[in-house]
Structure 1
Amino acid sequence: MDHVEISDDVIRLGQFLKLANLADSGAHARELVADGEVSVNGEVDTRRGRQLQKGDVVVVDSPTGRASATVA
């Protein structure tokens, strides 16, 4: 699992997916979230604008495999 540093106290889920290289683009991030393929701290979240804080764990389950990152 990668630890991805953020510069502020919070970051939106869609932005974090791109920053952590879990999504190729904003459109890809939107698609992953809308399809229910993203979970935050073990719970599926379909809100691309969800505010993540340091310590949150994001997991993407897609047809190409599973990837995860921690907000640091």
Structure 2
Amino acid sequence: MIEFKLEGEYIPLIQLLKATNLVETGGHAQIVVTEGLVKYNGKVDTRKRLKVKSGDIVEFDNNKILVK
């Protein structure tokens, strides 16, 4: 599991995927989100502008990100 330390109230889902190096570009992040390949707190979520907050878990490509 990847632990990501949040600096601020939230981080947009697209930026989180880039910051954890699970995707190379923002464009790639948008594609994987809209194709339903990302789970947010256990459920598929296709919102590109989703605000990920402390305590949330994001899953993509057999990786889990715990936001702290």
TM-score normalised by L of structure 2: 0.92
Separation of aligned partners in 2, 1:39 and 1:46: 9
**1:67 and 2:27 matched:** no
**Superposed structure 1 runs of 4+ greater than 4 Å apart:** none
Separation of aligned partners in 1, 2:53 and 2:45: 15
Q: Is the 8 A contact 2:11 2:53 kept in 1?
A: yes
Partner of 2:41: 41
Q: Is the 8 A contact 2:2 2:65 kept in 1?
A: yes
TM-score normalised by L of structure 1: 0.87
- Name structure 2 gaps, 5 residues minimum: none
Q: CA deviation at 1:23?
A: 1.4
Q: CA deviation at 1:22?
A: 1.7
Aligned-residue sequence identity (percent) comes to: 37
Separation of aligned partners in 1, 2:9 and 2:17: 16
Q: Greater strand share, 1 or 2? A: 1
The one-letter code of the counterpart of 1:9 is E
Q: Is the 8 A contact 1:33 1:47 kept in 2?
A: yes
Separation of aligned partners in 2, 1:48 and 1:23: 14
